[in-house]
Amino acid sequence: MIKQFYKKILYSAIIIITISLIIHFTYYLLQIPNNNDEKDKLTKTDAIIVLTGDKYRISEGIRIFKNGFGKRLLISGVNKKITDAKIKLLYGNDSETRNLFDCCIDIDRISENTFQNSRETYFWARDLNLNSLLVVTSNYHIPRVKLEFSRFFYEDNLYYKSVNITDDDNSNLSIEMIKKYLLEYTKYLRTSISLLIEI
């Protein structure tokens, strides 16, 4: 009798946890912006922050920067082995961009994760007296970026531009994206819990 009682408690707990995770995962998915809805909605800010990771993020950030949506650009989370010269070679395909690298584009090689991105961005923005920021990253990454950046910035000072990484002609893309979303969700869940318990 006692065993059956504890079994019922265990099964009930599993059901509640499963339903909670499904609801939370759905909430995460609903926060992922639709790129089609973002067109022509960019806001001019003091600076643009590009979080490295997927392809297209840096090129998109530089494109926005060249169009006058920020006074300064930070590329955050660059691999320590990649030199400034290599980055200029990859993305400085015209004299205007190369000049921007010399005057207005900074590179952060300290950050190795999203929390560190937000922390180093805070130090950089504070030292340069920059208030409003436009953060450029992959669309599925934005929900967690918002959580991490909320540790250091007021929500009203942050804007986001998502980069869609599903443009490649890749037969396994849907499977790869499912893997990316699930992995990212586990990180999002972990961050949510850490903020909830104030860690």
Instruction: Dump pLDDT digits (tens) for 114-125.
Output: 999 999 999 999
In a domain, 100, yes or no: yes
Q: Which amino acid is present at 63?
A: R
In a domain, 18, yes or no: no
In a domain, 171, yes or no: yes
In a domain, 20, yes or no: no
**DSSP per-residue letters across 156-194:** GGEEEEEE--TTS--TTHHHHHHHHHHHHHHHHHHHHHH
CATH number at residue 131: 3.40.50
Residue 184 lies in domain: 32-196
Number of domain units in the chain: 1
CA–CA dist 75, 131 (Å, integer):
17
What is residue 149's three-state secondary structure? Answer: helix
The top-scoring range by mean pLDDT among 43-47, 86-90, 172-176, 195-199 is 43-47
Instruction: Dump pLDDT digits (tens) for 2-36.
Output: 677 777 888 889 999 999 999 999 999 999 987 65
Strand partners, 160: 135
